[in-house]
Amino acid sequence: MASSNNLPNHEGQAVPNVTFRTRQNDEWVNVTSEDLFKGKTVVVFSLPGAFTPTCSSAHLPRYNELAPVFAENGVDEIVCMSVNDTFVMNEWAKDQESDNVRLIPDGNGEFSEGMGLLVNKEDLGFGMRSWRYSMLVKDGIIEKMFIEPEVPGDPFEVSDADTMLNYINPQAKPAKVATIFTKVGCPFCAKAKAMLEDNGISYEEINISNSGISSRTLRAVANADTVPQVFIEGELIGGSESLEAFLAK
In terms of C-beta density within 10 A (0-12 exposed, 13-18 middle, 19 or more buried), how is residue 228 classed? buried
Catalytically active residues are: 55
Q: What is residue 5's predicted lDDT score, i.e. its pLDDT?
A: 61
Distance of CA 68 to the CA centre of its chain: 12
Q: Which helix (H) or strand (E) holds 161?
A: helix 161-168
Q: Residue ranges of the domains in the chain?
A: 19-168, 177-248
CATH fold group of domain 19-168: Glutaredoxin (3.40.30)
Angle at 100 between CA 99 and CA 105, to 5 degrees: 80
What is the CATH class of 177-248? alpha beta
Render each residue's pLDDT in the chain as its tens digit; 249 residues: 334 468 999 999 999 999 999 999 999 999 999 999 999 999 999 999 999 998 888 899 999 989 999 999 999 999 999 999 999 999 999 999 889 999 999 999 999 999 999 998 877 778 899 999 999 999 999 999 999 999 888 899 999 999 999 999 999 988 788 999 999 999 999 999 999 999 989 899 999 988 888 899 999 999 999 999 999 999 999 999 999 999 998
Are both 19-168 and 177-248 of the same fold?
yes
The separation between the first and the last C-alpha atoms of the chain, rounded to the nearest angstrom, is 49
CB atoms within 10 A of CB 87: 12
Q: Spell out a b/e string for 179-218, using b for 16 or more CB atoms within 10 Å of the CB, else e.
A: bbbbeeebebbebbbebbeeeebebeebebeeeeeebeeb
Query: Is 8 strand, coil or helix?
Result: strand
Q: What is residue 20's predicted lDDT score, i.e. its pLDDT?
A: 98
Q: How far is CA 202 from CA 131, 192, 207, in A?
A: 31, 12, 16
Q: What is residue 10's predicted lDDT score, i.e. its pLDDT?
A: 96
Which stretches of 44-160 are DSSP H helices? 53-54, 60-72, 86-96, 110-114
